[in-house]
Amino acid sequence: MGKLEKYSSYKDSGVEWIGEIPEHWEIKKLKFIIKNKLQYGANESGDDYQENLPRYIRITDFSNSGKLSEKNKLSLSWEKANKYLLKDGDILFARSGATVGKTYQFKTYMSSEKFYAFAGYLIKAQANEIIVSSDYLYTYTNSNLFEKWKENIFNKSTIENIGADKYSELFVVLPLREEQTIIMKFLNEKTAQIDEVISQKQKLIELLKERKQIVINDAVTKGLDKNVEFVDSGVEWIGKIPKHWKLLANKYVFKLKKNLVGKKSSEYDLLSLTLEGIIKRDLDKGGKFPAEFDTYQEVKKGDFVFCLFDVEETPRTVGLSKYDGMITGAYTVFSVKNINKEYLYYFYLNLDSKKRLKPLYTGLRNTISKDNFFSFKSFIPPKDGQLQIVEHIENQTTKINKAIELQQNYISKLKEYKASLIDSVVTGKVRVV
């Protein structure tokens, strides 16, 4: 088994966006191939996670790949969970929001807890195994046909919301029951092979990212010349630094800015601090924005933007702006003089990657006060050394970034191939023999 070929004859499915299907296959609506009516989940708030209680699955707990997250787990009391417990093979459909249409198949052997209940923004389907296997049905929800069905639904509605009434009408392309078993055996083998290659590529990407971080860390803490005299930095995790470098308090490095845009906000581009650095935001694309931007502050090209609160939880707390614009007043904006800004950015990017400013945190929100920030000492090489370090980092990280991009492109092609393979098999475009 494993060879693919065309079926001997096809017929019109009767559904325009499905097209032709093998002659002996059927089209059935979801409501006719499940054991019971589709069921909404519990409309309850979760409790703190406890091992002796059912785990409470919410719409945010599983990804588009169908994997269940182990972060931020919640539980539900037995009394509240009793009617909403999951059984092996149950399939959950997301019914609203940005994740609408996302699906998850509950498998006992893949689960770390014994009991699971599901929340109200999810809908449960139990496959009638006489007609359709749970594995086949779940795989079908990951095909392009399922995506086409969702698009068809949304074209008829201004709200991206698929309730039980709509899911009940989902058209499912059905091979013979024994054929489903053959199809799933083939797909499980092939997709497992593809997933293994993807996993290896992802591990390689992580190693490349680690390598990039090592390049930056070594350059901004040790310099490029390893033959110079080194002295103790006074910072445990750094160790020794070149003797000719300065440890300069930030009050001599950064100058605090606080220029509010006021009523002139319409004249500024909106900026945001992200993992990719400082980017321009497009107001037309939607998102959460304030009614007015009067309290936002001016940012000039070359300014530093720091998030000095919730430092531990914030993915990126430092940015060097390439743009003129405005940013929320909650951030702290600095200008820099007489020091290479790119060097300084790499220095603080390195600190941020490992949350090395933790000794400066105060309060429940892990806030760095202005006084603590200004008293912190930056490591400053001579000017020519700063430039050399920047050139070295950019040269090395460019090479690493290209290698990462190559692996990411490879992963994208593998995922496309996997999706195409699933789609071709479960829609009858090809036959497994």
Among 153, 174, 195, where does a domain finish? 174
Same domain (yes/no): 260, 168:
no
- How many structural domains compose the chain? 2
User: Do residues 290 and 167 share a domain?
Assistant: no
Same domain, 31 and 168: yes
φ, ψ for residue 25 (rounded to 5)? -90, 165
Q: Are residue 251 and residue 376 in the same domain, yes or no?
A: yes
Ranges of residues in the chain with a pLDDT under 50 are: 1
Q: Looking at the structure, tell me whether residues 270 and 135 fall in a common domain.
A: no
Tell me what pLDDT residue 268 has: 93
Structure confidence at residue 2 (pLDDT): 54
Assigned domain for 252 exists: yes
- pLDDT, tens digit, for every residue of 133-187? 999 999 999 888 888 888 887 765 555 688 899 999 999 999 999 999 999 999 9
Domain membership of residue 45 (yes or no) is yes
Please report the pLDDT score of residue 65 as a whole number: 66
Pair 170, 250 in one domain: no
C-alpha–C-alpha distance, residues 173 and 15, integer Å: 10
State the pLDDT at residue 16.
Answer: 87
Per residue, what are the HEC states of the chain? CCCEECCCCEEECCCCCCCEEECCCEEEEHHHCECCCCEECECCCCEECCCCCCEEECHHHECCCCCECCCCCEECCHHHHHHHECCCCCEEEECEHHHCCCEEECCHHHCCCCCEEEECCEEEECECCCCCCHHHHHHHCCCHHHHHHHHHHHHCCCCCECCHHHHCCCEEEECCHHHHHHHHHHHHHHHHHHHHHHHHHHHHHHHHHHHHHHHHHHHHHHCCCCCCCEEECCCCCCCEEECCCEEEEHHHCEEEECCECHHHHHHCCEEEEECCEEEECCHHHCCCCCCCCCCCEEECCCCEEECCCCCCCCCCCEEECCCCEEECCCCEEEEECCCCHHHHHHHHHHHHHCCCCHHHEECCCCEECHHHHHHCEEEECCHHHHHHHHHHHHHHHHHHHHHHHHHHHHHHHHHHHHHHHHHHHHCCCCEEC
Query: Is position 157 within any domain?
Result: yes
Are 263 and 148 in the same domain? no
Residue 132 lies in a domain: yes
Q: Is residue 416 situated within a structural domain? A: no
* CA-based max dimension of the chain: 81
Q: pLDDT tens digit string along 344-383?
A: 999 999 999 989 888 889 998 899 999 999 999 999 999 9
The CATH number for 138's domain is 3.90.220.20
pLDDT at 255: 96
60: containing domain: 26-174
Is residue 160 domain-shared with residue 255, that is, in the same domain? Answer: no
Choosing from 159, 174, 189, the residue where a domain stops is 174
Structure tokens at 173: 């392309």
48 lies in the same domain as 154: yes
Name 412's Cβ contacts closer than 8 Å, sequence gap at least 6. none
Residues 276, 165 share a domain: no
Tens-place pLDDT, residues 231-250? 988 777 778 889 999 999 99
For residues 253 and 372, membership in a common domain is answered with yes
- Kindly compute the dihedral angle of the four CA atoms of residues 204, 208, 214, 216, in this order, to the nearest 10 degrees: -160
Domain-located, residue 213: no
Q: At what angle do helices 177-222 and 341-353 cross, to 10 degrees?
A: 130
Q: Is residue 190 part of a domain?
A: no
Please tell me the pTM assigned to this model: 0.80
CA-based torsion, 5, 10, 14, 19: positive or negative: positive
Instruction: Flag whether 13 is in a domain.
Output: no
Look at residues 147, 174, 201 and tell me which one is the last residue of a structural domain: 174
Answer yes or no: do 165 and 251 share one domain.
Answer: no
